[in-house]
Amino acid sequence: MHFGEMGSRWGFNRTVGQMYALLVISEAPLSANQIAEALSVSRGNVSMGLKELQSWQLIKQHHIAGDRKEYYQSAGTIWEMANKVFEERRKREMDPTLSLLRGIILENPDSPEEVYAQQRLQEIHDLLETISKWTSELQQMNPDTLGTLMKLGSGVGKVIDMKNKLIKPSQKKEIKTEDAK
């Protein structure tokens, strides 16, 4: 039930959230009817929900010999599931905004107000782009390294300082400039 409520915050609707939670905590694959019954929800609703979960690649089908029904299971590890959710959200929440902002920034300002507006939008664009690129790179990393990085927490700052100290002063200056940009 809670995953249903949270579902709406996480980008899918109540039923889809409940369905996914159910499949995650159930070791045995479930049929569409079992899901509908467990959640007291219509068969049609389950059908649409399964379709959406499949489009997110969060579940997989499972055939049982001699049974014509389809059975469904959650797919992949928890990490993979989190990755899918992040990816989908980046697509929905950042990409459209980035391309819109790019368009506006290229327009020719007609007034001082528009110059100011473009500057602010440029800042937002740059930040969004940095975050978008970074998170997508993080997702490419292997989970172990990423785990190490996360456990390091803000301690990573010290590691970065250490790295800077190891670089020759001439190069160091160059990098500092780049960071400030």
Binds a copy of itself by CB under 8 A, chosen from 64, 124, 167, 171: 124
How many Å from the N-terminal Cα to the C-terminal Cα in the chain? 47
Q: Which of 6, 33, 119, 136 binds DNA (CB under 7 A)?
A: 33
| Tokens linked to 109 | 């300002």
Check if the beta carbon of residue 71 is closer than 8 Å to that of residue 64: yes
Q: Which stretch binds DNA (CB under 7 A): 9-17, 102-110, 124-132, 161-169?
A: 9-17
Is residue 42 a contact point for a copy of itself (CB under 8 A)?
A: no
For residue 141, the partner it binds in DNA, a copy of itself, none, with Cβ less than 5 to 8 A by kind, is a copy of itself
Q: Which two tokens stand for residue 126?
A: 């740059």
Q: Give the residue from 87, 59, 86, 61 showing the smallest Cα distance to 75.
A: 59
Per the CB < 8 A criterion, the answer to whether 125 and 102 are in contact is yes
Residue 138: Cβ-neighbour burial (10 angstroms; 0-12, 13-18, 19+): middle
Q: Which is closer to DNA, CB of 33 or CB of 119?
A: 33
Q: Does 118 bind DNA (CB under 7 A)?
A: no
45 binds DNA (CB under 7 A): yes
15 part of the interface to DNA, by CB under 7 A: yes
- Lookup: tokens for 143: 């989970």
- The CB-side HSE value for 145 (13 A sphere, CA atoms) comes to 6
When asked if residue 73 is in the footprint of DNA (CB under 7 A), the reply is: no
- Residue 13: contacted member of DNA, a copy of itself, none (CB under 5 to 8 Å, by partner type): DNA
**Tokens of residue 7, six digits:** 């579902």
Indicate which of a copy of itself, DNA, none lies near residue 78 (CB less than 5 to 8 Å, by partner kind): a copy of itself
Residue type, position 164, single letter: N
Query: Mapping DSSP to helix (H, G, I), strand (E, B) and coil, where does residue 79 land?
Result: helix
Task: Select from 55, 68, 108, 153 the one that contacts a copy of itself (CB under 8 A).
Answer: 153
Say how far apart CA 152 and CA 145 lie, in whole Å. 10
Instruction: Give me the residues that bind a copy of itself (CB under 8 A), please.
Output: 2-3, 6, 9-11, 24-27, 78-79, 82, 92-93, 96-97, 100, 113, 116-117, 120-121, 123-124, 127, 130-131, 133-134, 137-138, 140-141, 144-145, 147-154, 156-157, 159-160, 162-163, 178-180
